[in-house]
Amino acid sequence: MRRFLPAALRLVLFVLLVTFIVSPGWFEPLLKPLTENNAPAIYNQGSLLTLTLQHLGTVAVATLGAIVVAIGLAILVTRPFGAEFLPLSRSLVNIGQTFPPVAVLALAVPAVGFGEKPTLIALFLYGLLPIFENALTGLTTLPGNVVEAARGAGMTSRQRLLKVELPLSLPVILAGIRLSVVISLATATIGSTVAAKTLGEVIIAGLISNNLAFVVQGGLIVAGLAVFIYDGLVALERVAARRMGLSGL
């Protein structure tokens, strides 16, 4: 019963979030008290559904790029021939954390112009570190007896990587991806300052027009997406851990 109630509550909240994104007009009476001077309560300069899909698309593309690069670097530096590149790799993935996303946007706009591209660059750089560090941790803390057994079975280094090391590291890698995605979901809102189509457009419109209703609805959608995607990735981590016999994770 204790498990059912939170799951049922999450389901209700998820349905409410989807309903609000698809048909925000139904919730106008709830948001109207937050407006002044008869201002619109529901964002009317675009479709919330379209902005949500574009927001998620931008995060997905940036995260996919970060996954490929970060895991590739982690694999490289955990091989004997690539160990010497660990300090350089750490310096590279720390770039996104060294410079705030706003600074990255400011530097990227002159090079690639306004729109989605500078936002993708900022999210990509910002998402590298958690994925790289978790992949590195996963690949360097494998049970030694398992790796030796794979080597004794005659597996090549490539086979050990694909069939033993990466599968065993998957729950830890997924935890890094989860952190990266949640950070990117929130950070993507600032992309609207450089004309990217994200939910930040709703928040910025509210700040400019002093319309609290716009700010609240934009913030609630981003927060709701972050919570449900976080929960989904946690569930995925647990499934991966059970399959690898790591139920304690």
In this structure, is residue 9 part of a structural domain? no
More confidently predicted of 103 and 18: 18
More confidently predicted of 128 and 82: 128
Sign of CA dihedral 65, 66, 72, 73: positive
Looking at every residue in the chain, the average pLDDT score rounds to 87
pLDDT at 123: 92
pLDDT at 246: 56
Report the share of the chain in percent with pLDDT over 70.
Answer: 96
What b/e sequence results for 142-180 when a residue is b if at least 16 CB atoms lie within 10 Å of its CB, and e otherwise? Answer: beeeeeeebeeeebeeeebbeebbbebbbbbbbbbbbbb
Q: Please tell me the distance from the alpha carbon of residue 200 to that of residue 105, in angstroms, as a whole number.
A: 14
In this structure, is residue 156 part of a structural domain? yes
The phi and psi torsions of 3 (rounded to 5 degrees) equal -75, -35
In this structure, is residue 161 part of a structural domain? yes
Decide if 219 contacts 207 (C-beta within 8 A). Answer: no
pLDDT at 201: 93
Decide if 98 contacts 184 (C-beta within 8 A). Answer: no
Residue given tokens 């189509």 in the structure block = 197
pLDDT at 4: 47
Query: What would the pLDDT profile of 95-152 be if each residue is shown by its tens digit?
Result: 877 877 788 888 888 888 888 889 999 999 999 999 999 999 999 888 777 777 877 7
Give the CATH number of the domain where residue 183 resides: 1.10.3720.10
Q: Please tell me the distance from the alpha carbon of residue 120 to that of residue 86, in angstroms, as a whole number.
A: 25
pLDDT level of residue 159 (50, 70, 90 thresholds): confident
pLDDT level of residue 245 (50, 70, 90 thresholds): low
pLDDT at 1: 40
In this structure, is residue 185 part of a structural domain? yes
Stretch 40-61: mean pLDDT: 93
In this structure, is residue 143 part of a structural domain? yes
In this structure, is residue 219 part of a structural domain? yes
Query: What would the pLDDT profile of 204-234 be if each residue is shown by its tens digit?
Result: 999 998 999 999 999 999 999 999 999 999 9
DSSP string, 128-151: HHHHHHHHHHHHHS--HHHHHHHH
Checking if the pLDDT of 79 tops 50, the result is yes
User: pTM of the full predicted structure?
Assistant: 0.89
The count of residues in the chain is 249
Residue 67: domain span: 51-243
Helices (H), 161-244: 166-187, 200-209, 212-243
In this structure, is residue 56 part of a structural domain? yes
In this structure, is residue 5 part of a structural domain? no
Q: Please tell me the distance from the alpha carbon of residue 39 to that of residue 20, in angstroms, as a whole number.
A: 19
What's the structural domain count of the chain? 1
Of 75-84, 104-113, 142-151, 170-179, the least confident: 142-151
pLDDT level of residue 249 (50, 70, 90 thresholds): very low
